[in-house]
């Protein structure tokens, strides 16, 4: 007969290591704030065109001209 080790206490949620589901090198190299465009461009917020007008600020993709956000 083989005996299996027993735990003194069951593990708690806080004892588990939390990781991002993506561990690829490219994801690790991205800045924390990244915008994604349907055309495939992904870049930090300071790498998009900013257009001002009508009291709003628009972030526009420099590759395809798609408006990503209006604030």
pLDDT digits (tens, 9 = 90+) for 8-39: 665 555 544 454 455 555 666 766 788 899 99
Q: Residue 10: what pLDDT?
A: 56
Token pair, residue 7, equals 């735990």
Could you give the percent of the chain with pLDDT greater than 70? Answer: 56
By CB atoms closer than 10 A (0-12, 13-18, 19+), residue 2 is exposed
d(CA 42, CA 64): 12
Does the pTM surpass 0.75? The reply is no
Angle at 68 between CA 65 and CA 70, to 5 degrees: 110
Mean pLDDT, all residues of the chain: 76
């Amino acid at each position: 007969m083989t005996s299996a080790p027993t735990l003194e206490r069951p593990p708690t949620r806080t004892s588990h290591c939390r990781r991002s589901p993506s561990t690829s090198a490219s994801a690790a190299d991205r800045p924390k704030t990244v915008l994604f465009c349907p055309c495939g461009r992904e870049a930090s917020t300071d790498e998009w065109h900013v257009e001002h007008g009508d009291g709003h600020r628009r972030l526009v993709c420099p590759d395809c001209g798609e408006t990503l956000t209006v604030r």
